Amino acid sequence: MGAPFLIALAAMALLSSLAIASDPSPLQDFCVAINDSKAAVFVNGKICKDPKVVTANDFFFQGFNIPGNTNNPVGSNVTRVLVNNLPGLNTFGISLARIDFAPYGVNTPHTHPRATEVIFAVEGTLAASFVTSNPPNNMKNRLFTKVLNPGDVFVFPQGLVHFIQNLGKTKALAFSGFSSQNPGVNTIANVVFGTEPPISLGVLTKAFQVDKKVIDALEAQFS
Ligand SMILES: *[C@@H]1O[C@H](CO)[C@@H](O)[C@H](O)[C@H]1NC(C)=O
Ligand SMILES: *[C@@H]1O[C@H](CO)[C@@H](O)[C@H](O)[C@H]1NC(C)=O
């Protein structure tokens, strides 16, 4: 083994340790987020509260036992505990959600640009699915689906389109953990058919290979 080989190995090790796919590691014990629009310095996250005035309540959230209201067109509701409502999460690369489902309700296809999600089924029977990103050579995107019963855990890889369907005629409940304090959500239907202003018909008729009337009908659902 020559020196150039060892240098290349060292460089690869350094690169892979730098290829962080989630939030950066914390640089202090904690950094409780504050809303300070006058803060002069932009940080990748939230400005830290002075540690001297931090209290236990900064690390505390209440009400996660309360179901979200699923009386809506999709029959599901996500209650999130992110850095915005639990400021002590700042810089820790983690957050939480509960997902309540009405009978046959759906947590519709979406992505989280900044997080992997691990879901824990607690009640009911759920089908959890995700789709791979575009494979090479015009192969089809692959759909993975698993039926989850209480006690089952499933993971949605970071950035991939995923969705969850309640297969049962009773309500269902799941909890999710995220590898980001602020995972972000792109709901496919909304980011395509519900933007302000709308994406041009020329783009959407080409993208979906349908008539303008079909796009008009879809956009009407999300306007
Ligand atoms: C920060 O501001 C947002 C938007 O005004 C508000 O919803 C949130 O409760 C605030 N968070 C804290 C910790 O004050
Ligand atoms: C989710 O539930 C909360 C709490 O009941 C409610 O305020 C909110 O409007 C619901 N969201 C949807 C999309 O139904």
Full pLDDT tens readout for the chain, 223 residues: 455 555 554 544 444 444 556 777 777 778 888 877 666 555 667 888 889 999 999 999 999 999 999 999 999 999 999 999 999 999 999 999 999 999 999 999 999 999 999 999 999 999 999 999 999 988 999 999 999 999 999 999 999 999 999 999 999 999 999 999 999 999 999 999 999 999 999 999 999 999 999 999 999 999 8
Domain identity same for 120 and 161 = yes
Vertex 212 angle, CA 210 and 216, to 5°? 110
Q: Is the CB of 150 under 6 A from ligand 2?
A: no
Q: Based on the domain organization, do 113 and 160 belong to the same domain?
A: yes
| 68 & 166 share domain | yes
* Within-domain flag for 109: yes
DSSP string, the chain: --HHHHHHHHHHHHHHHH---SSPPPSSS---EE--TT-SS--SS-EEPPGGG--GGGG----TTSPPP--STTSEEEEEE-TTT-GGGTTS--EEEEEEE-TT-EEEEEE-TT--EEEEEEES-EEEEEEPPPPSTTPPPPEEEEEE-TT-EEEE-TT--EEEEE-SSS-EEEEEEESSSS---EEHHHHHHS-SSPPPHHHHHHHHT--HHHHHHHHHHH-
For the CA of 35, the closest atom of ligand 1 is 1
Residues 112 and 146 occupy one common structural domain: yes
**Is 123 annotated to bind ligand?**
no
> Do residue 47 and residue 119 come from a single domain?
yes
Query: Total structural domains in the chain?
Result: 2
Task: Give the number of the ligand closest to the Cα of residue 84.
Answer: 1
Q: How many other C-beta atoms are found inside a 10 Å radius of the C-beta of residue 134?
A: 9
Q: Identify the CATH number of the domain in which residue 100 sits.
A: 2.60.120.10
Residue 199: give the domain boundaries: 185-223
Per-residue pLDDT, 201: 95
Residues 152 and 87 in one domain: yes
pTM: 0.83
Hey, whose CA ends up nearest to atom 3 of ligand 1?
A: 84
Same domain for 123 and 144, yes or no, is yes
84 and 194, same structural domain? no
214 assigned to some structural domain: yes
Evaluate whether residue 191 is within a structural domain: yes
Please indicate, yes or no, whether residues 135 and 212 belong to a single structural domain of this protein: no
Same domain, 202 and 122: no
Q: Which ligand minimizes its atom distance to the CA of 32?
A: 1
* Pair 168, 121 in one domain: yes
Report the pLDDT value the prediction gives residue 1, as an integer from 0 to 100: 43
For ligand 2, atom 13, which residue shows the shortest CA distance?
Answer: 77
Residue 114 placed within a domain: yes
For residues 76 and 179, membership in a common domain is answered with: yes
Separation of CA 67 and ligand 2 centre (Å): 9
For ligand 2, the distance from its centroid to the CA atom of residue 76, given in whole angstroms, is 9
Domain presence at residue 5:
no
85 is in an annotated binding site: no
pLDDT for 30: 80
> Is 135 domain-assigned?
yes
Residue 200: inside a domain, yes or no? yes
Does the CB atom of residue 69 touch ligand 2 within 6 A? yes
Q: Which ligand is nearest to the CA of 59?
A: 1
Report yes or no on 157 lying in a domain.
Answer: yes
